[in-house]
């Protein structure tokens, strides 16, 4: 059955080039509701797979491709991309698809946990003051206050911001589209942050759908997202350096980890933290605590202390 499917793939290559196959795969992912950034990552992965001549109907060949690319934690999306591609391209041969998926070997990450910096409120404000772009500064503020992923902030639309009925200039609630297309409301309580966001929105062109994407480049929103994130990351790294913080010890996602640590320090409750971060699985929440510098022993100690205080 696998041999039959391999022949079918070869016939497909005779009538369609790799770019067409990848484009069709991307369209399928979008119909499934995958985020545009993730869709682009998956398409890039499959384009490499096809360009390097790996046999996509052979488990040993696919495992060799995965072993080559999945040596770092952040490259494990190759594994998810290959699984998604097989599910898409072998939809008419479910038995063969299941056999291949079962034979895929999930690579083990060898990337060590990096040391992270902890920035105080004053240090964060100092970093913000060194950012050269007002747009990037507002992105960082939303990350700091709401614990959002940078990518989620970049996808915010004008319609996602709800304002106070008494004062239409004051933004109160933001509807965030997170991973998997899930939408959830978050509230902006800090008065200074609300004023900054209101002033920024007021200056955004009325005909612009997205608040933060750099529309100066006439490309697709997905490409604008990549360019905007790259520019934001560079601005943040330069601001960290100018503020006296080692740039390698802080990334855009550390705003989210920082909020996670602050919520934990205040409540010591995994369920509350899971709700604040919007995680579906509690295991993901526990990983955030680990990356925030709080090991299992410390977590247990904090829980014990909180129990002692309550009795």
Q: Which CATH architecture has domain 121-243?
A: Orthogonal Bundle (1.10)
CB 245 within 8 A of CB 119: yes
Q: How far apart are CA 169 and CA 166, in angstroms?
A: 9
Local confidence pLDDT in tens for the 311 residues of the chain: 444 444 344 434 434 578 888 889 989 988 887 777 788 889 988 988 888 888 888 889 888 888 888 766 556 788 888 999 998 988 778 888 888 888 888 777 555 556 778 899 999 999 999 999 999 999 999 999 999 999 999 999 988 988 876 666 677 789 988 777 788 889 888 889 988 888 888 887 766 788 998 777 677 888 888 889 999 999 999 999 999 999 988 999 999 999 988 888 888 888 888 888 888 888 888 877 765 555 444 545 544 555 555 55
The residue ranges of every structural domain in the chain are 2-103, 121-243, 255-310
Query: What pLDDT does 37 receive?
Result: 73
Sign of CA dihedral 178, 70, 90, 37: positive
Looking at domain 2-103, which of 2.90.10.10, 1.10.150.130, 3.20.20.70, 3.40.720.10 is its CATH number?
A: 1.10.150.130
Q: Where are the alpha helices (DSSP H) in 167-216?
A: 191-203
φ, ψ of residue 264 in degrees (nearest 5):
-65, -45
Question: Could you tell me the CA-to-CA distances from 228 to 37, 43, 213, 306 in Å, in that order?
Answer: 12, 20, 6, 42
Q: Which two structure tokens, joined as six digits, stand for 294?
A: 């709080």
């Amino acid at each position: 059955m696998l041999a039959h499917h391999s022949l079918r793939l070869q016939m497909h290559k005779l009538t369609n080039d790799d770019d067409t196959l990848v484009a069709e795969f991307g369209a399928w992912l979008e119909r499934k509701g995958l985020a545009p950034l993730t869709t682009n990552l998956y398409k890039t992965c499959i384009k490499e797979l096809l360009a390097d001549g790996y046999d996509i109907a052979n488990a040993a060949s696919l495992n060799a491709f995965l072993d080559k690319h999945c040596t770092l934690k952040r490259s494990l999306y190759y594994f998810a991309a290959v699984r998604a591609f097989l599910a898409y391209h072998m939809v008419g041969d479910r038995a063969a698809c299941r056999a291949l998926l079962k034979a895929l070997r999930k690579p083990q990450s060898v990337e060590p946990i990096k040391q992270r910096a902890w920035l105080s409120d004053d240090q964060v404000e100092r970093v913000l003051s060194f950012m050269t772009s007002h747009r990037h500064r507002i992105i960082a503020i939303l990350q700091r206050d709401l614990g959002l992923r940078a990518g989620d902030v970049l996808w915010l639309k004008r319609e996602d911001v709800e304002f106070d009925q008494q004062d239409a200039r004051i933004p109160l609630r933001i509807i965030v589209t997170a991973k998997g297309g899930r939408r959830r409301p978050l509230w902006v309580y800090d008065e200074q942050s609300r004023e900054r966001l209101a002033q920024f929105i007021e200056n955004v062109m009325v005909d612009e759908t997205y608040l933060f994407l750099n529309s100066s480049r006439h490309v697709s929103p997905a490409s604008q997202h990549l360019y905007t994130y790259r520019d934001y990351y560079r601005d943040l790294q330069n601001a960290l350096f100018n503020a006296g913080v080692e740039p390698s010890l802080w990334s855009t996602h550390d705003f989210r980890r920082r909020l996670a640590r602050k919520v934990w320090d205040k409540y010591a409750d995994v369920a509350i933290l899971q709700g604040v971060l919007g995680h579906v699985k509690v295991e993901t929440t526990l990983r955030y605590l680990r990356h925030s510098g709080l090991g299992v022993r410390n977590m247990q100690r904090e829980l014990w202390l909180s129990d002692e205080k309550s009795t």
